[in-house]
């Protein structure tokens, strides 16, 4: 049994570079640009995400205490992470007491080695798999294949991705980027003995996949799964799914190997009551998951007679030590943030380069694997893969403030990068703006831009290093007269006088209207017949009309709502 640590005085390690699927080959902007050219992909994503989004809104609206459930889920995850070491030890003790074996994997390399060793010990050359983000994260399928072991995905969407030699693009629906016609073509090409008359009717596609998988279920001796939750109190593991393939994998094979991230542990069995309401509504828009499987260790004569639990760190301890990472570890992998994200909807999951795409992936991936802006790390571009619109925070069932975390990661990336061409340009601009003489000279020099403008008074091509701007947008030619010069002219001074007069007239009109609408205020503002008692300090002069009390109250209410 290998061991891992849950914290040292020095910084814990991130997931190892080059192992697993937590880092892409390209930066997000370049990868997204490529994906945006695929109109079929964009159409598929739009239809799928909007369908799931509508279902989610319908079922969450049914619960009057939905916000209280979100608060409860967030509180449970916070408590769990605060006590993570002791809860993991308790989970290990309970699983071992029920006949299971617990393995601790420091990273993806160790986890893959543990699973491979266990499969070989059973003399098996193939395994069946339940959909698992953890095994995707560590690249288990690729590692097993390199070791001569075939992994058969049994989730329909995962099977589609595997047969197409593709990569998942969504946390919950890995083949969301595929439509029915594409799936039909994949099945005809990759599934042996499939009916050549197969149509794109969903029921027929599902039947073809079922026939293909049935033999695997009945003959394979080893299964590999993930886990949605692990209960420290009892040693119970939980898997929720929609197709029943998970139930088959968890009950038919002789040996079951479960790979679970250490953040998936929960303190008590009753905590499932909260998450079994949050997860299905947020993920698939269902009131409950069609299949919920719970098992505790080994039960003689029922189900697998050998159970192994691999507890995976792979950068989670490092994330736990970081305020951003700790909040990101609250994630329950529901994918609600992906389904509402305008960036994900257009760019798709492959552009992120990680097992975890979308808004939460843009936070979680750099926390698990790190981001090194100085080395041109693709992960350093992920915090910018967001419009910061806030839809992800509104959708998150455990209230992860993803926009704020992304802003903080952008700050960290900027600090890592040090001096850049952009920062030098900003410093130069600040120096010019702080000196009136230089600023005036810069304005006059900018006027030369009219020379390179076209007849439509737009600059379409700028020389390097400004060509990055003109490649995607036109720049208006500078006017013949700057605003400052116009304001100093007779026309400018006349326009300024007219604006001031109009403002004064509007103020007097507003005062008169206020007095007519509030007689008591008018009487209070009228001159008094008795002089006020002398004061030690004179009243300060009034430079403008006092706003009405109703407006003050309304402003305070607005501020409170925004806060």
The CA distance from 206 to 272, in Å, is 31
Yes or no: say if 260 and 312 are a contact pair by the CB < 8 Å rule: yes
Q: Which long-range contacts (CB under 8 A, 24 or more apart) does 539-547 make?
A: 544/507, 545/507, 545/510, 545/511
The CA distance from 142 to 152, in Å, is 12
Bond into 465 cis (ω within 30): yes
* SS3 state of residue 516: helix
pLDDT tens by residue, 15-37: 888 888 999 889 999 999 999 99
Full-model pTM: 0.75
pLDDT tens by residue, 148-205: 999 999 999 999 999 999 888 888 888 888 888 999 999 999 988 888 889 989 999 9
List, in order, residues 6 or more apart from 374 with CB less than 8 Å away: 416, 417, 418
Residue count of the chain, please give it.
563
Min mean pLDDT across 178-187, 361-370, 455-464 is at 455-464
The CA distance from 386 to 407, in Å, is 10
Domain limits, the chain: 85-313, 421-477
Spacing of C-alpha 252 from chain mean position: 35
> What is the tally of helices (H) and strands (E) in the chain?
26, 12
SS3 assignment for 143-187: HHHHCCCEEEECCHHHHHHHHCCCCCCCCCCCCCCCCHHHHHHHH
Element (H, E) at 293: strand 291-296
Spacing of C-alpha 19 from chain mean position: 22
Residue 76 has pLDDT above 80, yes or no: yes
List, in order, residues 6 or more apart from 299 with CB less than 8 Å away: none
pLDDT tens by residue, 509-555: 888 888 876 665 555 555 554 554 544 444 444 444 444 444 343 44
The CA distance from 512 to 522, in Å, is 9
Spacing of C-alpha 109 from chain mean position: 25
Highest mean pLDDT: which of 423-427, 491-495, 545-549?
A: 491-495
Report helix, strand and coil shares of the chain as percent, to nearest 5.
55, 10, 35
The CA distance from 408 to 230, in Å, is 31
Yes or no: say if 22 and 368 are a contact pair by the CB < 8 Å rule: yes
Strand blocks (E) in 19-156: 101-105, 126-129, 150-153
- Please give the share of the chain, as a percent, with pLDDT higher than 90: 60
Q: For position 456, what pLDDT does the model report?
A: 76
Strand order through the sheet with 150-153: 101-105, 306-312, 255-261, 222-225, 126-129, 150-153
Half-sphere exposure of 25 (CA within 13 A, CB side): 2
The CA distance from 115 to 141, in Å, is 11
The DSSP secondary-structure symbol of 237 reads E
Mean pLDDT over 255-280 rounds to 97
Domain made up of 85-313: CATH architecture: 3-Layer(aba) Sandwich (3.40)
- Please give the share of the chain, as a percent, with pLDDT higher than 70: 86
pLDDT tens by residue, 383-401: 999 999 999 999 999 999 9
């Amino acid at each position: 049994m290998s061991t891992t640590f849950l914290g040292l005085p020095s910084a814990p390690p991130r997931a190892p570079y080059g192992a697993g699927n937590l880092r892409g080959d390209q930066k997000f902007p370049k990868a997204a640009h490529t994906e945006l050219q695929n109109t079929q992909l964009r159409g598929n994503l739009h239809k799928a995400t909007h369908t799931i989004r509508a279902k989610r809104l319908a079922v969450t609206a049914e619960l009057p205490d939905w916000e209280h459930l979100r608060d409860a889920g967030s509180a449970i995850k916070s408590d769990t992470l605060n006590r993570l070491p002791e809860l993991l030890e308790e989970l290990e003790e309970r699983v071992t007491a029920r006949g299971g074996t617990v393995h601790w994997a420091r990273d993806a390399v160790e986890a893959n080695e543990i699973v491979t060793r266990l499969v070989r010990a059973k003399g098996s050359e193939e395994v069946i798999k339940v959909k698992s983000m953890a095994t995707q994260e560590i690249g288990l399928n690729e590692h097993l294949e390199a070791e001569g072991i075939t992994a058969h995905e049994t989730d329909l969407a995962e099977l589609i991705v595997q047969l197409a030699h593709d990569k998942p693009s969504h946390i919950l629906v890995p083949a969301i980027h595929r439509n029915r016609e594409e799936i039909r073509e994949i099945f005809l090409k990759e599934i042996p003995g499939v009916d050549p008359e197969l149509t794109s009717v969903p029921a027929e596609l599902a039947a073809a996949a079922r026939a293909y998988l049935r033999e695997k279920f009945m003959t394979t001796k080893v299964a590999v799964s993930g886990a949605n939750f692990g209960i420290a109190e009892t040693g119970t593991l939980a898997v929720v799914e929609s197709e029943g393939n998970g139930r088959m994998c968890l009950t038919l094979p002789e040996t079951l190997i479960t790979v679970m991230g250490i953040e998936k542990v929960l303190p008590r069995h009753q905590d499932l009551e909260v998450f079994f309401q949050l997860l299905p509504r947020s993920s698939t828009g269902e009131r409950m998951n069609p299949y919920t499987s719970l098992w505790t260790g080994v039960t003689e004569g029922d189900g697998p007679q050998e159970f192994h639990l691999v507890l995976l760190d792979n950068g989670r301890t490092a994330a736990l030590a970081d305020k951003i990472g700790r909040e990101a570890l609250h994630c329950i992998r529901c994918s609600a943030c992906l389904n509402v994200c305008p960036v994900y909807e257009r760019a798709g999951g492959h552009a992120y380069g990680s097992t975890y795409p979308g808004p939460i992936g843009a936070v979680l991936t750099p926390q698990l694997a790190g981001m090194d802006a100085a080395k041109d790390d693709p992960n350093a571009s992920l915090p910018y893969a967001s419009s910061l619109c806030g839809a992800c925070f509104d959708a998150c069932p455990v209230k992860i403030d993803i926009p704020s975390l992304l802003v903080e990661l952008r700050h960290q990336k900027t600090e890592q990068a040090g001096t850049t061409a952009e920062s030098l340009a900003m410093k130069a601009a600040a120096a010019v703006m702080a000196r009136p003489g230089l600023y005036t000279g810069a304005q006059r020099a900018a006027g030369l831009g009219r020379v390179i403008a076209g007849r439509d008074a737009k600059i379409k091509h700028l020389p390097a290093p400004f060509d990055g701007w003109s490649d995607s947008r036109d720049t208006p030619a500078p006017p013949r007269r700057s605003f400052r010069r116009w304001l100093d002219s007779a026309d400018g001074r006349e326009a300024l006088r007219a604006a001031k007069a109009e403002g004064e007239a509007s103020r007097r009109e507003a005062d008169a209207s206020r007095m007519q609408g509030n007689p008591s205020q008018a009487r209070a503002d009228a001159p008094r017949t008795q002089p006020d008692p002398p004061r030690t300090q004179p009243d300060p002069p009034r430079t403008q009309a006092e706003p009405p009390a109703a407006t003050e109250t309304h402003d305070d209410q607005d501020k409170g709502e925004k806060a």
